[in-house]
Structure 1
Amino acid sequence: MDLAAVLALYDRDMREGARPESPDARIERTGGVVRHIGGEGGWNGVLWSDLDPGNADAAIAEQVAHFTGLGREFEWKLHGHDRPSDLGRRLVAAGFTADPEETLMIGETADQLLDAEPPDGVRIVPVTDRAGVDLMVEANERAFGRDGGWLRDLVLARLATDPDGIVALVALAGDVPVSSARMEMIPGTRFAGLWGGGTAQEWRGRGVYRALIAYRARVAAERGYRYLQVDASDQSRPILERLGFAALTTTTPYVHGV
């Protein structure tokens, strides 16, 4: 894989040339910034920017004023190769708070089409209704130890407005949810995004996470997506590297409240 070429393609497809994540969302391009205005329960933030030391502060102030005027919290998704090199410092000075840094990792969809089944006693179930979303949220809360209400709102909204753009899954041990994950797909791009993969402590290291990746890879391949994209935590990065995913750059969410 030519990592520099794939990163350039990712910037072009998923950031500069971004498309709305759902029918009730929109993309706006203004002053060297591409921003996403989410629909109900959707994501709001800056996806891409082309700034320099002379115009960065003004562009940041403009985005703060815009999203504050809409009454929305938003995220500036900063990538490690973004310019200017001190953009993160400028965001903090403008009132943003940095979340933990993650690693943008890319895998070839074809490389993940293995016969990776979940461990004995565990089955993977597609999530298509509120009952399934509740199980998914319960698994997420067990995996990450925090309230999953935001996930419930996000998945329910996406299932209602754009069911073909999301694949939501829950792994059940008997009737107990032990892991969950989702995949988001935007037509016209070559990247399917893998999100939210998390497994309850007692089931880690037994192949559940791997099976969820393989399941989503099969769906992505059927729909013509060449690459799988993950914003990987420090915990998931080693697993993904063993599976053949490559690190392209870092990504850090800078969050600004209302």
Structure 2
Amino acid sequence: MDTAALLAAYDSQMRMPPGGTLPAGVTYEHDGPVVRIVGGHMGRIRPPRDLGVTGAGLDRLITRQRDYFQARGQGVEWKLRGHDLPADLPERLVAAGFVPDEPSTVLLGFAGELATEPVLPGGIVLRQVHEAEDLRRIAGHQSEVWNADLSWVEDMLLSQVSADPAQITILIAEAGDRIACSAWTLYYPGTDFAALLGGTTLPEWRGRGIYRAMIAARAQDAVTRGVPLLHVDASPASAPILRRLGFHKITTSTHYHWTPPK
């Protein structure tokens, strides 16, 4: 496997915010080498692989992003990949008050190889959704599993559907009237990639193949759309499953968060 070629494709197509129809209220703002994503539940910073800025200039760039969102009363996330430059960017983010999450593994897979028929355990029904009530249920499901307030997921999904339903596919696996697993895919016009996001399973349904079935169903959808590559920022729990399915590690990804003081 030519992982260097996969990494090069990822760097050229998936580092900066891609094209397509933006959700209402969301804008991209350029500040030197980075792009600020404004209008979501939190600010997001997307950099190229090499910022081309060092020392005091880099500190000023970081501080401007923090202060911009502080003035909006919002937190901000800076997404850092393991091969980003300059090498001291993590330390400078921390010095500016950003706190790193646990690193994720950036995995890429070939949709055609992963598009098998989904195999679901008995009692589970897989369904594609887009109605507001189902999106509310997904937010509740995600909040329950992660023991955190993820109510913003409802608005985020609804805004994506409203902007362009062709750019998102949302799936739920239901056990009766309860969501056992939820996941979605974002498509980026003009790229070879679909991003697999949100895959979350209730603890009592883990280890029974639902997550794998969700991957297969989303890979089938990507193949139907002519999109060859699947991208996942995988948690430590998900990465081994995805590697066994045939995904390839190309780098790591760490979200550095700054939160306004209360």
TM over 0.5: yes
Partner of 2:180: 178
CA contact 2:140–2:151 (8 Å) conserved in 1: no
Q: Does residue 43 of structure 2 align to residue 44 of structure 1?
A: yes
Structure 2 counterpart of 1:10, one-letter code:
Y
SS in 2 for 1:205: coil
CA deviations 1:77-130 (Å, max 9, x no partner) are 011111111211110111112122111111111111111221111011112112
Following superposition of structure 1 onto structure 2, how do residues 23-42 of structure 1 map, counting pairs within 5 Å?
Answer: 23-24=23-24, 25-38=26-39, 41=40
CA distance in structure 2 between the aligned counterparts of 1:17 and 1:156, rounded to whole angstroms: 19
SS in 1 for 2:78: strand
- TM-score, length-scaled by structure 2: 0.90
CA distance in structure 2 between the aligned counterparts of 1:250 and 1:19, rounded to whole angstroms: 24
Following superposition of structure 1 onto structure 2, how do residues 158-197 of structure 1 map, counting pairs within 5 Å?
Answer: 158-197=160-199
Superposed CA RMSD: 1.9
SS in 1 for 2:137: helix
What is the aligned length? 256
Following superposition of structure 1 onto structure 2, how do residues 17-28 of structure 1 map, counting pairs within 5 Å?
Answer: 18-19=18-19, 22-24=22-24, 25-28=26-29
CA contact 1:138–1:177 (8 Å) conserved in 2: no
Between 1:47-56 and 1:80-89, the stretch displaced more is 47-56
Between 1:20-29 and 1:158-167, the stretch displaced more is 20-29
SS in 2 for 1:46: strand
Between 1:222-231 and 1:128-137, the stretch displaced more is 128-137
Between 1:59-68 and 1:218-227, the stretch displaced more is 59-68
In structure 1, runs of 5+ residues without a counterpart are none
CA contact 1:126–1:168 (8 Å) conserved in 2: yes
CA distance in structure 2 between the aligned counterparts of 1:13 and 1:45, rounded to whole angstroms: 18
CA distance in structure 2 between the aligned counterparts of 1:134 and 1:26, rounded to whole angstroms: 24
Deviation at 1:37, TM superposition (A): 2.4
Deviation at 1:189, TM superposition (A): 1.1
Deviation at 1:33, TM superposition (A): 1.7
Partner of 2:91: 89
In structure 2, runs of 5+ residues without a counterpart are none
Between 1:245-254 and 1:151-160, the stretch displaced more is 151-160
Amino-acid identity (%)? 40
SS in 2 for 1:61: helix
